[in-house]
Structure 1
Amino acid sequence: MASRFVDRAVIHLAAGDGGNGCASVHREKFKPLGGPDGGNGGNGGDVLLIVDPNVHTLLDFHFRPHARAGNGKQGQGSNRNGAAGQSLEMHVPDGTVVLTQDGEVLADLVGAGTTFVAAQGGRGGLGNAALASRARKAPGFALLGEEGEARDLVLELRSVADVGLLGFPSAGKSSLISVVSAAKPKIADYPFTTLVPNLGVVEAGETVFTMADVPGLIPGASEGKGLGLDFLRHIERCAVLVHVVDCATYESDRDPLSDVDALENELARYTPSLGGDLAERPRVVVLNKVDVPEAAELAELVRPDLEARGFQVFEISTATRKGLRELTFALAQVVERYRAAQPAPEPAKIVLKPAAVDDSGFTVESDPNDPEGFIVRGTRPERWVRQTNFGNDEAVGYLGDRLNRLGVEEELARQGAQPGSPVTIGDVTFDWEPSTPAGVAAHMSGRGTDARLEDTSRISAAERKEARRMRRDGTEEGDAESGD
């Protein structure tokens, strides 16, 4: 079965979930309350994309687009922490670009070993041993593990080549790369013989560079016609673009000048997602098949016009190898100049970004769906809510203490929140009840309970809803009477 080349794939990734913390009390003979000893849950595994020089296609991702890392294990008693989930390493070719489904570039993976964290594993929850404090000596709860990140990403392969060969179908690009390198592409005399980009390594003196032939372009390729749109991205990294022109074509409506103009038009209309402008890349025109007498005459006729446009022109024959040495050394010089003009790679720097002094870490805004409600947004409040077991009153009280220390209650009060106002954090909506700061002895109660949640004197949510409905109905009746 023939091998397949896949240079684009959509993958669905899920990192591992963090393990839950453990709520446990040490028990030993003659020590009925030996203190909390619940261990922490393990972190979930990450999903990593790693550049592997031995991988040349995205074929594996095409057939297996779903991947998931391992979950963290739950903590246990006797201060035993849960094991971390196993990270999943996915090997990608050199030159892989990671994008969102909206087309935003997240990472450009170039160089063996380059690693990108495609999905972050969830944090493990703290056990009650880690939550113990002077005010809460034996917590009867533990924090839940966070869910791992789930992402849908697009992988696109952009060939890492110094020289890109462009031309109409059957212009001789595959033949050229086969005679100047060890590459053995499929060659035949019919359109679109090349269905995948072929790469070859070329040696010219002491300079070694890579050459790629892009499947035949036709007018309209930048708009998706033919095969061009799928493979134009393979020339984004090239230092020099080479127009390979068939001077022995039998098509009466084509000539070397019109071929070059048509391809230049497609290049001008293509916008590289990696940045830069293809118009700034050096150009070389190769007039191919000059071993045919009529082609040699045509090449000699059009060469002055091409040189007048600023192109460097070479006449070659892949059949007789005429002009190949001059071409390869000229390309080597252009590649060397391009490499010398590139900025020297800088070592990776660790950048510390402390939070701003006036950054509270959260925001409070009115709920557009409830005039009496509020929405709290922020990384820490939303994470704390995800870690809370709402079936445990003590855990809910601990959440209230954390929000209070962060300043959420103060901000809610400043914006006019009243006791019982619905407050939404993440996916959870609850009735806000002001509390005192953590550590006040009057609020400590039995394990797994919180005295603040046992107060039933205030109006329930159902009663408030009914009161709002009655007020609304009364307002509508008053409007109707005034209209009469």
Structure 2
Amino acid sequence: MTTFVDRVELHVAAGNGGHGCASVHREKFKPLGGPDGGNGGRGGDVILVVDQSVTTLLDYHHSPHRKATNGKPGEGGNRSGKDGTDLVLPVPDGTVVLDKGGNILADLVGEGTTYVAAQGGRGGLGNAALASARRKAPGFALLGEPGRAGDVVLELKTVADVALVGYPSAGKSSLISVLSAAKPKIADYPFTTLVPNLGVVTAGSTVYTIADVPGLIPGASQGKGLGLEFLRHVERCSVLVHVLDTAALESERDPLTDLDVIEAELREYGGLDNRPRLVALNKVDVPDGQDLADIIRPDLEARGYQVFEVSAVSRHGLKELSFALAKIVGDARAAKPKEEATRIVIRPKAVDDAGFTVVAEDGFYRVLGEKPERWVRQTDFNNDEAVGYLADRLARLGVEEELVKAGARTGDEVVIGAMDDAVVFDWEPTITAGAEMLGRRGEDHRFEAPRPAAQRRRERDAERDEADHEYDAFKPF
């Protein structure tokens, strides 16, 4: 059974925003009290947060689909819908968030660090919020915006100061067990360690973490053994320790060859050339091990390595090794730039940023931009008044003017949004006037002073004829 998982693909979906409500206040002796439809609630976000008590991504391996709750729709009486509940997903310290293409979206290091993996949709405005002096009684409300959904990849890179690397059964787990309070599984066969082990070491006033990387063998950087899965766990370390087995029973192996093989795999993996290296000659408590250590030590020192002879059984040389590691870790921490306090960065938009673009494509014109695409998603196309309101908004934004500049003509096909959820129109240049005249949108004649019946009939017939002429071309397919 899988007990440690350090890479998962997570399918996240934020909550949808609640729809706004179109309602008119009614009570005894006051049947037309004005619009009182409430706004829809915001959809819940999907948020990743670093939790030190979490050490693996196992939960998301078994349950990769996660969804936040939707916002509630608005109601009459100016009652807004309840916001959806955010879905908070705890992840281990050192989790990297990537998209499907391998691009890094966030690097989550430090307790409480958060990242919004999927943002909830906005709630739609009710007709009370849409009312204005010109639009006294809107007969429509805005729809809630769908929440974002997609796939992200979570990769765990252990946050450790020291990484122990070496062949299987070189004694890495044994060293961790005596240097710290960690209790990894220890046995005399290769690949005993199937997951990275992490321990905390105290040397004088310095406290640091130490981890081992299991399963490094020739070809590990290409996926042989377990090395490819766990080499990422050494990327954050400050120092590498080569653990060499001086009591290896295999006649075809020797410590210097083991060192060359591991270094070749680290170079192939990349990104670790600037890490300082130490060499720990392990198992010197064995007579043959001490003899071999005496033979190869001059060669290692000639290569520039700082060499320590250690034994996890007799505890020989462990104090010297732990204090040497503490010094390197302390120097690395001192060399790091101090983290600055959180700053709010204000990036004003350019004065000539229209907020959208019009692109001429093969046989049609596409309108792209956050505002027009969001407005389309929030429009109820079964309501002519809502369609007219969308037309007014697009005209005020300048979409119609840009379409003219791009060469659009009456009857040309205009697409707003991406291909998946795009809305297609046959463009009519006089759409602004038509939107204004659609039944004098938002105005209820019952709120106005009485007029002669003949005048009202003439105005109604004129408005109906104009609306039929102007809006037939604007209805979406």
TM-score, structure 2 normalization: 0.91
Asked if 2 retains the 8 angstrom alpha-carbon contact of 1:257 and 1:302, the reply is yes
Q: Is 2:324 aligned against 1:330?
A: yes
Q: Is 2:409 aligned against 1:418?
A: yes
Asked if 2 retains the 8 angstrom alpha-carbon contact of 1:51 and 1:94, the reply is yes
Select between 299-308 and 171-180 the one with higher mean Cα deviation.
299-308
Q: How far apart in 2 are the matches of 1:180 and 1:442?
A: 81
Q: Could you tell me which residue of structure 2 aligns to residue 433 of structure 1?
A: 428
Asked if 2 retains the 8 angstrom alpha-carbon contact of 1:445 and 1:451, the reply is no
Kindly state the Cα deviation for residue 7 of structure 1 after the two structures are TM-superposed.
1.1
Q: How far apart in 2 are the matches of 1:94 and 1:20?
A: 38
Kindly state the Cα deviation for residue 456 of structure 1 after the two structures are TM-superposed.
4.0
Asked if 1 retains the 8 angstrom alpha-carbon contact of 2:428 and 2:473, the reply is no
Q: Is 2:452 aligned against 1:455?
A: no
Kindly state the Cα deviation for residue 436 of structure 1 after the two structures are TM-superposed.
6.0
Select between 251-260 and 18-27 the one with higher mean Cα deviation.
251-260
Q: How far apart in 1 are the matches of 2:464 and 2:402?
A: 24
Asked if 2 retains the 8 angstrom alpha-carbon contact of 1:51 and 1:114, the reply is yes
What SS does the aligned partner of 1:278 have? coil
Which amino acid in structure 1 is aligned with residue 399 of structure 2?
A: V
Unaligned runs of 5+ in 2: 445-462
Q: How far apart in 2 are the matches of 1:52 and 1:418?
A: 57
Q: How far apart in 1 are the matches of 2:250 and 2:466?
A: 85
Q: Is 2:181 aligned against 1:168?
A: no
Kindly state the Cα deviation for residue 437 of structure 1 after the two structures are TM-superposed.
4.8
Which amino acid in structure 1 is aligned with residue 142 of structure 2?
A: L
Q: Could you tell me which residue of structure 2 aligns to residue 307 of structure 1?
A: 301
Q: How far apart in 1 are the matches of 2:439 and 2:255?
A: 88
Which amino acid in structure 2 is aligned with residue 381 of structure 1?
A: P
Kindly state the Cα deviation for residue 460 of structure 1 after the two structures are TM-superposed.
6.6
RMSD: 2.2
Q: Which runs of 4+ in 1 moved over 3 A?
A: 435-444, 446-454, 456-462
Q: How does 1:348-367 map to 2 (within 5 A)?
A: 348-367=342-361
Q: How far apart in 2 are the matches of 1:399 and 1:213?
A: 60
1:279 pairs, out of 270, 273, 282, with: 273
What SS does the aligned partner of 1:279 have? coil
Q: Is 2:331 aligned against 1:318?
A: no
Kindly state the Cα deviation for residue 367 of structure 1 after the two structures are TM-superposed.
2.5
Q: Structure 1 residues 24 and 459, CA, compared in 2 at 3 Å: closer, same or farther?
A: closer
Q: How far apart in 1 are the matches of 2:465 and 2:126?
A: 23
What SS does the aligned partner of 2:391 have? helix
Q: How far apart in 2 are the matches of 1:454 and 1:363?
A: 29
Q: Could you tell me which residue of structure 2 aligns to residue 192 of structure 1?
A: 191
Q: How does 1:179-328 map to 2 (within 5 A)?
A: 179-271=178-270, 277-328=271-322
Q: Structure 1 residues 197 and 440, CA, compared in 2 at 3 Å: closer, same or farther?
A: closer
Q: How far apart in 2 are the matches of 1:357 and 1:66?
A: 42
Which amino acid in structure 2 is aligned with residue 324 of structure 1?
A: L
Kindly state the Cα deviation for residue 380 of structure 1 after the two structures are TM-superposed.
0.5
Q: How far apart in 2 are the matches of 1:459 and 1:143?
A: 22
Kindly state the Cα deviation for residue 398 of structure 1 after the two structures are TM-superposed.
0.5
TM-score, structure 1 normalization: 0.90
Which amino acid in structure 2 is aligned with residue 414 of structure 1?
A: K
Q: How far apart in 1 are the matches of 2:30 and 2:217?
A: 84
Q: Structure 1 residues 189 and 452, CA, compared in 2 at 3 Å: closer, same or farther?
A: farther
Q: Could you tell me which residue of structure 2 aligns to residue 15 of structure 1?
A: 14
Identity within the alignment, %: 65
What SS does the aligned partner of 2:243 have? strand
Kindly state the Cα deviation for residue 32 of structure 1 after the two structures are TM-superposed.
2.5
> Structure 1, residues 283-324: CA drift from partner, whole Å, max 9, x if none?
000111111122111111111111111111101111111111
Q: Structure 1 residues 400 and 151, CA, compared in 2 at 3 Å: closer, same or farther?
A: same
Unaligned runs of 5+ in 1: 272-276, 463-484
Asked if 1 retains the 8 angstrom alpha-carbon contact of 2:135 and 2:443, the reply is no
